[in-house]
Amino acid sequence: MCVIEQPGTIVTIPAIVNVDEITDEAPEVKTFYMSFVDPSVGARFTLRSGQFIMCTVFGAGEFAVSLPPSPEHDRFHITVRRVGKVTNALHALRPGDKLGVRGPFGNGFPFADIKGKNIVYVAGGIGLIPLRSSIVHVLQHREDFGRIILLYGARSFADLLYRQNITQWRKTPGFETFITLDRAEPNWDGEVGFVNTLIEKAGVPVDNTVAFVCGPPVMFNSVIGDLLKRGMSEDAIVSTLERQMKCGIGKCQHCAIGRTLVCTDGPVYTYRQIKTLGEVI
């Protein structure tokens, strides 16, 4: 079989992983904890926050999925919302079943450039999945950054992902968390409204600050608009593009937007780059 190497890519043909544990994260969303059947592959599998893998559900197909674990000291896992054929088959798996994994692929978040800066994470719904890796990594290196702020919006309390993680993260000194639900609920005494309303409430800084924004298109436009109005530079706003991917290694062109291939050049882009692509998220 032809193995195409891409710098930083550890596994180029599907490596077999065992599904060790499955947890319900939110309605239609599950987290799958996995381990490589060949431990030597697992030992070499290193990732950068913001990268993704191609995951094979045998008999159903392959799909792209973000890597939520921190690059350091974290269990290997993915968090997936079921939307169609392959993700439905994934949700039907049980502990002990096997999956295939290729990757990691993509550029990842720009960590070298953000040391010493304030970091604002803005997540809508399952947009928290690709940000989780970066949040854990930054909190593990708290002293290297200024303010660290998470603005997170979900449709309902039940839709909030990683609730136990968030409770833990809140114990890190100086980690500021603002959470909002789209609608009021009987047992919720927190913020109500869309996530962009938190930008003002949190007093988001703009100087020496980078914002990582992930969520559905409707959220993206309002959040970006409010960050720009506040004076944030287009280069300081970073997001991930999601496109249908097949190969993950820049060969099949499924994820091409103009001259960029989201699987290899992305999925992380600055807002200025996204605008240049003429892309509507």
Ligand X SMILES: Cc1cc2nc3c(=O)[nH]c(=O)nc-3n(C[C@H](O)[C@H](O)[C@H](O)COP(=O)(O)OP(=O)(O)OC[C@H]3O[C@@H](n4cnc5c(N)ncnc54)[C@H](O)[C@@H]3O)c2cc1C
Instruction: Give the residues lining the site for ligand X (CB under 6 A).
Output: 52, 61, 63-66, 79-81, 83-87, 126, 129, 242-245, 267
Give, in degrees to the nearest 5, the angle at Cα 249 between 246 and 254: 35
Residue 158's Cα: distance from chain center in Å?
19
CB nearer to ligand X: give 52 or 199. 52
Least distance to ligand X from the beta carbon of 19, Å? 16
Taking the C-alpha atoms of residue 75 and residue 78, their distance in angstroms, rounded to an integer, is: 10
Residue 116 CB-density burial (10 A; 0-12 exposed, 13-18 middle, 19+ buried): exposed
Least distance to ligand X from the beta carbon of 66, Å? 3
Q: Could you identify the residue written with the tokens 């094979």? A: 56
CB nearer to ligand X: give 232 or 271. 271
CB nearer to ligand X: give 27 or 84. 84
The CB-nearest residue to ligand X is: 84
Distance separating the N- and C-terminal Cα atoms of the chain: 36
Least distance to ligand X from the beta carbon of 55, Å? 8
Least distance to ligand X from the beta carbon of 253, Å? 14
CB nearer to ligand X: give 52 or 109. 52
CB nearer to ligand X: give 57 or 204. 57
For the chain, the farthest-separated pair of C-alpha atoms sits apart, in whole angstroms, at: 57
Taking the C-alpha atoms of residue 77 and residue 9, their distance in angstroms, rounded to an integer, is: 18
Least distance to ligand X from the beta carbon of 144, Å? 26
